[in-house]
Amino acid sequence: MKINFNRREPVYVQVVRHFKQQIAMNMLEPGQEIPSRRELAGELKINPNTVQRAYKEMEEQGLIYTERNLPSKITRNEQVLQVVREELIMDAVDQFVTTVQSVQVPLDEIVTIIKEKYEQTNADKGEEDHD
Amino acid sequence: MKINFNRREPVYVQVVRHFKQQIAMNMLEPGQEIPSRRELAGELKINPNTVQRAYKEMEEQGLIYTERNLPSKITRNEQVLQVVREELIMDAVDQFVTTVQSVQVPLDEIVTIIKEKYEQTNADKGEEDHD
DNA sequence: TTTAGTGTATTAATCACATAATACACCGAT
DNA sequence: ATCGGTGTATTATGTGATTAATACACTAAA
């Protein structure tokens, strides 16, 4: 577990987003146990209370659940998991479309730019995988 | 002049972005005078220093220039203006592509979603313009 | 010269966030 | 029963960014 923190956003927000991305990538399965507050705080070199803040938000959103005093787990509610994925996408789309519309770029140009960027960065990722 | 502020980002950042968007939309012409610090602060109901902070950033980026103690004006450097437009687009693309790639959405789906959203919101804008 | 509106600079206050230090309840394992 | 690790809650403190308050310098115009 490793997160590249930026200093613009609150740390707990970035932690939440990281978990959402992990979920959307299917790197975290339903029911899977996640690190305890103290453990993750140790890994990320942040305060346990900051992790608690992040986990609390995730719990309020139904992303994780906690039984007794055991480490929390990823929700088994498939719909919630699906929504996480969809929201990530739709939020990105919303913001993106808002921006490009304000600049009045033709849709064709946009698609072209995205395709280039998409394939370019995908190629980069592919090279990293060479062994 | 009106800006819908969110409370997540610093106000001065949002002011800068607003001007960049205005520039990208060609709503502000090269050499055009912009409101004085105090005037804009009055309009937006924010502190003059906050506007100053925003203007200072814009001046450092070459977006505006100030002669003596007269209200600042939009730069006449066409290249700078072009860069503003391009950066707005590329930043949006970068963030967007990063997100959708992390969620591993096929490119085709992305394009479809964007087209829908783009046309949908364009339709909305058109309806607002009816008089 | 005076005035009113500029930009600019300095300092103070505010605020959100992160951290820190504790404390408590709970429960499985020993 | 004890111990160690959980989650949870409370309070205090520190800190950096942001915003606010104020003062200053300048200049066009009256």
Residues A97 and A115 in one domain: yes
Decide if B4 is inside a domain.
no
Q: Which of residues 63 to 122 on B have a Cβ less than 7 angstroms from any strand D atom?
A: 68-70
Residues A23 and A71 in one domain: yes
Q: Specify the pLDDT at position A130.
A: 46
Nucleotide nearest the Cα atom of B13 (by C1'): D18
Residues A66 and A98 in one domain: no
Backbone phi, psi, residue A31, to 5°: 85, -5
CATH number, domain of B18, equals 1.10.10.10
Q: Which of A57, A63, A58 is nearest to A77 (CA)?
A: A63
Q: pLDDT for B82-126, tens place per residue?
A: 999 888 888 888 888 888 877 878 888 888 888 888 788 766 654
What percentage of chain B has pLDDT greater than the value 90?
53
Three-state DSSP class for residue A106: coil
Residues B49 and B67 in one domain: yes
Distance in angstroms, CA of A54 to C1' of D15?
Answer: 21
Residues B52 and B88 in one domain: no
**Do B94 and A116 form a contact (C-beta atoms < 8 A)?**
no
Count of the separate structural domains present in chain A: 2
Q: Which of B20, B11, B26 is nearest to B91 (CA)?
A: B20
Residues A83 and A66 in one domain: no
Report residue A17 as tokens: 């987003």
Q: Does B99 touch chain A (CB under 8 A)?
A: yes
pLDDT band at B130 (very low <50, low <70, confident <90, very high): very low
Q: Which residues, numbered 9 to 28 in chain A, qualify as contacts with chain B under a Cβ-Cβ cut-off of 8 Å?
A: 21, 24-25
Decide if A31 is inside a domain.
yes
For residue B40, count other CB atoms closer than 10 A to its CB.
22
Residues B23 and B65 in one domain: yes
Q: pLDDT for A15-70, tens place per residue?
A: 999 999 999 888 899 999 999 999 999 989 999 999 999 999 999 999 999 988 88
Residues A27 and A65 in one domain: yes
What percentage of chain B has pLDDT greater than the value 70?
92
Decide if A5 is inside a domain.
no
Q: Which of A115, A110, A87 is nearest to B118 (CA)?
A: A110
Distance in angstroms, CA of A117 to C1' of D24?
Answer: 51
Decide if B95 is inside a domain.
yes
Nearest to A111 among B25, B100, B111 (CB): B111
Exposed (0-12), middle (13-18) or buried (19+): which is B39, by Cβ within 10 Å?
Answer: middle
Torsion sign, CA atoms A120, A122, A128, A129: negative
Backbone phi, psi, residue B33, to 5°: -75, 140
Partners of B64 in the β-ladder: B74
Residues A16 and A30 in one domain: yes
CA distances from A130 to A2, A27, A76 (A): 22, 21, 35
**Do B25 and A102 form a contact (C-beta atoms < 8 A)?**
yes
Question: Maximum Cα–Cα distance for chain B, whole Å?
Answer: 55
Residues B69 and B22 in one domain: yes
Enclosing domain of residue A91: 79-129
Q: pLDDT for A56-91, tens place per residue?
A: 999 999 999 998 888 999 999 999 999 998 888 888
Report residue A122 as tokens: 């995908």
Residues A68 and A86 in one domain: no
Decide if A4 is inside a domain.
no
Decide if A119 is inside a domain.
yes
Exposed (0-12), middle (13-18) or buried (19+): which is A21, by Cβ within 10 Å?
Answer: middle
Q: Which of residues A36, A54, A76 is at a domain's end? A: A76
Decide if A2 is inside a domain.
no
Decide if B5 is inside a domain.
no
Q: Specify the pLDDT at position A18.
A: 93
Query: Which residue's structure tokens are 């930043």?
Result: B91
Residues A48 and A97 in one domain: no
